[in-house]
Every structure is written in C-alpha cells, then in structure tokens.
Amino acid sequence: MGEVFANYDVFGAFFMTIRLAVLSAIGSLLLGTVLAVFRMSPVGLVRGIGAAYVNVVRNTPLTLITVFTMLGAHSNLGIRVADPASPTSVVDTAFRWGVIALTVYHAAFVCEALRSGVNTVPVGQAEAARSIGLTFAQNLRHVILPQAFRGAIVPLGNTLIALTKNTTVVAVIGVAEIAYLTAEVMENDPGLIVWLFLVVALGFVVLTLPVGLATTHFGRKLAVAR
C-alpha cells in the first residue's frame, strides 16, 4: 500500500474530491432551496417550472449531464467558465463544469428533501401565519423554511453523501479526482489496483460516515415537534 502513496498523489486526488463535494453541496443547497420555493409557489406557472426541472433532471443520468456540460455547453455553445488565456485553463474548465453538473443534478434532490421537511411543519402554523397577514414570502422565511430545514436534516445528509460519492462521475470530463487517479493506475500500474481500491473505499468511508452519523444525531435532536 505504501507504494500507492509513494507513486501517486492520492491525497491530492482526495482533496480534489472534497473540493468538488463542498462547492457542489453549497450550490445544490442554494439552487435546491430556490426550486423548493418554486414548487410551493401559489403561482401555477412557477410551480410547473419547479416540477418540470425536478422531474427532468432527477430522471436524467448524471453522466449525461456531466458530458453535456463539456461537449455541449463548452465545446458547441462556446460557454466559457475559465479564462482561455490562463495556463490552467483546461484544468479550471473541467473542474468548474464538474461543479456545475453536480450542482444542477443534486439540486433536484435537495428540493425534494426540503419538500419532505415542509411536510413536517404543522399545517396550522402556516394557516396562522397567513391569518395574521404574513405574505407568502414572509411565511416561507419566518415559519416554513426554518422548520423545513430542521425536518429535512436526514434527507439532506443522505443527499450530501450521494453527492460525495457521485463526484467520481466527473472523471469523464478529465477532473483529476480519485476516480481519475484510479483509471490512471489501472492503465499504468495494474499491479497496485487492489491496494488502490482499498484506499479509495476507506477514503470514502472516512468522508461519508461522519456525515451520516452527524445527520442522524441532529435529525433526532432538531426534529420538529408535531
């Protein structure tokens, strides 16, 4: 196993995985919250947009979305997310499109997780908020969403775990994370592949197990009382 760490930048690859997971998690939470608001909107058209996004994206393979960002948005449409003159343009482009793909995909699951959290909020509280004159936006901000986030801690944690594991998909567009390193080892040094698989498996357990334990703990502690 020592030869794996000596010959390959395992820690650097895992650091890239962590960067992808953290940035995509932030983006997914923001976009997913907006989508959840769309899905709860009193305006039918806005609700329809939110529902269409969730249904289409959730049923589209992440690999397809990831490949489209590079081949479709970048190559064909000419959308640039990094300075072409930069010496790190290729690396930056692949990384940023990887973050965008992961964000777009997992925002649909964050949206549904928040909707499940909304279901934990007693209906009477929303009705009481409307009865005292709160607008839809005020009702969401002060009554529904704060409790929805508390009720959605466990499904949000599960989404974060899935996102962390799904970072391996962006290797298809050349992001040098741990799956990309695994493919490199398989090609150049197949004798080390078993050891690398063990390292990768252990690494993902280290990354995801604390998230699962934390979300279970806080999900019980902060659960909305009915």
Domains annotated for the chain, with CATH where assigned, are 15-177 (1.10.3720.10)
Verdict on whether the full-model pTM lies above 0.85: yes
Q: What is the pLDDT of residue 161?
A: 94
Give the pLDDT confidence of 91-102 residue by residue, as tens digits. Answer: 888 899 999 999
Residues in the chain: 226
Q: What is the pLDDT of residue 223?
A: 67
DSSP string, 152-179: THHHHHHHHHHHHHHGGGGGGGT--SHH
Beta carbons of 152 and 113 less than 8 angstroms apart = yes
Q: What is the pLDDT of residue 83?
A: 84
Residue 99, classed as helix, strand or coil, is helix
In this structure, the dihedral spanned by the alpha carbons of residues 91, 9, 157 and 162, taken in order and rounded to 10 degrees, is 70
Alpha-carbon span 69 to 60, nearest angstrom: 13
Alpha-carbon span 165 to 8, nearest angstrom: 21
Give the pLDDT confidence of 75-86 residue by residue, as tens digits. Answer: 888 888 888 888
203, two tokens? 């690494």
Average pLDDT on 138-157 reads: 87
**Average confidence score pLDDT of the chain:** 87
Give the pLDDT confidence of 11-62 residue by residue, as tens digits. Answer: 888 888 999 999 999 999 999 999 999 998 888 999 999 999 999 999 999 9
